[in-house]
Homo-oligomer: A and B are copies of this chain.
């Protein structure tokens, strides 16, 4: 396909596509004449991945470059790219908020040991682990309390159950190697976070309403259409 068609298929404007080619994120097309090049499905997939990493993951072009270097490698490159992409996204989200780095590391280690004791497998350097430690420090700090690993443990079972259900339903997603798999993982992780959080808020409301006397409960959460 031509550049214009590639732009339509990927939803990325032509000047942006040209910029990605210059920046080394996207391979140039095969030249069919002096001013025209041919692009294929691989280019569409790559552009969709770059878009997901930028728009949904909030990553910079430089960071995307590092992630993509991994994904276009040998077998196993896709898994490495998925891990790197999620690490970079986690690092961006749980950016340094003034916590003592020693405290973050000590707590991350404590959380890691605790989750490993429950059989969890993850890389020691997983970005979400440090993010988890930072989030835990901030959470307890808001209540004027010191962080406790128990605050993680109570969520571990349900979080694993969520992940299992997501993996069980993933027959529909691409499991092969390649950019589409990385896009699928990034989008699936990020886009459904607000769904889970909204459900938790509704569940809080349910538990609060459940405690009301029957007649009040009816009036608050009645069956109006």
> Which residues of A pack against B, CB within 8 Å?
52, 56, 79, 82-83, 86, 90, 93-94, 115-116, 120-124, 126, 128-129, 131-132, 135-136, 138-139, 142-143, 151-152, 154-167, 169, 184-185, 187-189, 191-210, 217, 220-224
Asked if B165 contacts A206 (CB within 8 A), the reply is no
Identify which of B189, B198, B208, B210 contacts A132 (C-beta below 8 A): B198
Asked if A121 contacts B195 (CB within 8 A), the reply is no
Asked if B163 contacts A200 (CB within 8 A), the reply is yes
Minimum CB–CB distance from A145 to chain B (whole Å) comes to 9
How far is it, in angstroms, between the C-alpha of A197 and the C-alpha of B169 when the chains are bound?
19
Chain B contacts of A189 at CB under 8 A?
200-201, 204
Chain B contacts of A135 at CB under 8 A?
191-192, 194-195, 198
Asked if B83 contacts A195 (CB within 8 A), the reply is no
Asked if B196 contacts A121 (CB within 8 A), the reply is no
Identify which of B161, B166, B195 contacts A161 (C-beta below 8 A): B161
Given A90-B198, A195-B132, A200-B163: A187 and B122 within 8 A (CB)? Answer: no
Which residue from chain B places its CB closest to the CB of A135 in the assembled complex?
B194
Asked if B139 contacts A192 (CB within 8 A), the reply is yes
